[in-house]
Amino acid sequence: MGEPQWLDKREARLWESYRDTHRELMRALEARMISNSGLSGADYALLHPLSEAEDGVLRTRDLGRSVGWERSRLSHQVSRMEKRGLVCREECVADARGSMVRLTELGRTAIDAAAPDHVDAVRAYFFNRLTPAEQAQLTTLLDRIAADLPETCPTPDCDD
């Protein structure tokens, strides 16, 4: 391997901005969600796919895939939400080894109450800052980056 090609000043700026903007945007959305509805970002992340699933129920495996979390993180978060009555665990009828997660009535009420302000926040902090042409361009760039990533399994500690 030759001399590493370090990032120049312009590249380092973009790389830092890419990571920091994501972190600060997610933090701002989460802070607003907690103060508005008492739900955390992690609560919402799981309630959302469940609320869109048929009968409000998903295989645990599919739920994990939809949020991209590894198993132990998902399991801890489901346990926390189960204690608060937002979801419940069920055995999978079709597969004895599988388990399912079901949205409860309370969970449905919670996400229905949180969603309108959350979508307003996503518009205010993200979409309203970009023209439709910029949104289209950003979609193109992100898709290109995503398409060429090596496949990895979720790891326990990659939340940065």
- 34-93 binders of a second copy (CB under 8 A): 34, 40-42, 45, 67-68
Write the CA distances from 9 to 12, 16, 53, 65, 132, integer angstroms.
Answer: 5, 11, 46, 37, 30
138 sits near a second copy (criterion: CB under 8 A)? yes
Q: Which of 26, 38, 89, 106 contacts a second copy by CB under 8 A?
A: 26
As measured in angstroms, the least distance from the Cβ of 83 to a second copy is 16
| Cβ(99)–Cβ(89) below 8 Å | yes
Instruction: Give the SS3 label for residue 91.
Output: strand
106 sits near a second copy (criterion: CB under 8 A)? no
DSSP state of 54: G
Write the CA distances from 26 to 30, 121, 136, integer angstroms.
Answer: 6, 11, 21
Q: Which of 24, 62, 91, 105 contacts a second copy by CB under 8 A?
A: 24
Question: From CA 117, how far away is CA 97, in angstroms rounded?
Answer: 38
As measured in angstroms, the least distance from the Cβ of 10 to a second copy is 8
List interacting residues with a second copy (CB under 8 A).
Answer: 1, 4-7, 10-11, 13-15, 17-18, 20-28, 30-32, 34, 40-42, 45, 67-68, 115-116, 119-120, 122-123, 125-127, 129-130, 134-135, 137-139, 141-146, 148-150, 152-155, 157-160
